Amino acid sequence: MRQEIIEYLLPLNDEETEALGNALKVDRNLYMEGGRDVVRAEKILEKGRTVALRPHTRLVHFPLHSHSYVELIYVIEGKMVHYINNRKVEVKKNEILLLGEGVEHEIEKTGVGDIAMNVIIHPSFFSSLLSSSVSTFDSALQRFLLDTMKGKENSGYLHFFVEKEIPILNLMENLTWAYVRKEGQESQVYPLTLSLLFRHLLSATAEAEIEDREKSILRRSLSYIRDNYKNGSLEELALLVALSPSALSRKLKRETGKTWTELVQEKRMENAVWLLLNTKERVD
C-alpha cells in the first residue's frame, strides 16, 4: 500500500475524535435507525450508487449488529477482531473479510495503527457480475453471492488470506487510492474495480476460510441447544435461523444423525452428569 495512502488515513477523523470525548462509544445515529441494530445501506450509500468506501472507525467497540448490505473489509495495517455468530475471527494486514447481508457480528475496539477500509456493496451490484460470469464461480462463493442477489440474508462469511495475491492487493490499493484522491469518478471507478476484484477472488477461494449459510445454521442450532436446552423450542430456533421448523428438523437429522428431541435430551443428560460429579445439587 502506498505510503501516501497510509499517511492520509492515519490521523484521527472527526468521528474518531468525537468518540474520544464520548467514552469511546459508537454513535448509533450515524449508522442505524430506530431501535434495531441494523446498519442501513441508505445511511452510507449515496442515492443511485451501489458501492461506497469508508475507513473503519477506530477506537470504538461496535456492539452486535447486522447490515442491510454486503460488506467487504480490507485490513491495510494492523488487525481487526470480529465475533461472527459467536466465533472469533481475526483479520490481519492484507486479508479480506466478506460479510453477508444480515450477518450478526461485533467488532473489538481497534487502535490508531489498525487501519482498515470498508467497502459497502448494495446487493443489486452482484446482478451484472453474476450474469456475465456465473459459470466460473467457485460453488461456495457463487452460493454466497447468488443468495445475496436473490435477496436472501446470508449469515455466513468468507475470510480471504490474500497477502501473496499481488493482483488482488493492487486492486485494493487502486480502490483505496480512488477514495483518497476523490477525483469525482468514484461512481464508475468503484464498481469496475470491484468487479475485477471479485473475479480474482474466485481463484483465491482455496486460500479462504469459508463459513456459508449451511454451516452457520448448524453451528447456531447446536449453540442454541447448548444454551437453551431447558426451555428452548424448535419453533423459536427456526425463527432465529430463518427456516421452517420442519426444514430445520430435517437438517438437524441429516447433519447430526439425531432429531431435535434427541439432541436436547443428550444435552440434558450431559448437564445432569456434570452436576452429579461436580456439585451437591439435586438433579431432577
- Residue pLDDT, tens place only, 1-51: 789 999 999 999 888 887 776 655 666 566 665 555 777 777 778 888 889
pTM for the full predicted model? 0.69
Quote the cell numbers at residue 147.
443468495
User: What counts of helices (H) and strands (E) characterise the chain?
Assistant: 10, 11
Residue/partner pairs of 235-243 with CB below 8 Å, 24 or more apart: 241/155, 241/217, 242/153, 243/217
- Residue pLDDT, tens place only, 202-214: 766 655 665 555 6
pLDDT of 119:
96
Hey, which bits of 5-69 come out as E strands? 38-39, 51-55, 62-67
Quote the cell numbers at residue 102.
444480515
Helix H or strand E segment including 157: strand 157-161
**Angle between the N-to-C axes of helices 260-278 and 245-256, in degrees from 0 to 180, rounded to the nearest 10:** 60
Query: pLDDT exceeding 90 applies to what percent of the chain?
Result: 32
pLDDT of 30:
61
Quote the cell numbers at residue 62.
461496535
3-state helix, strand and coil shares in percent for the chain, rounded to the nearest 5: 50, 20, 30
How many other CB atoms are found less than 10 A from the CB of residue 87?
13
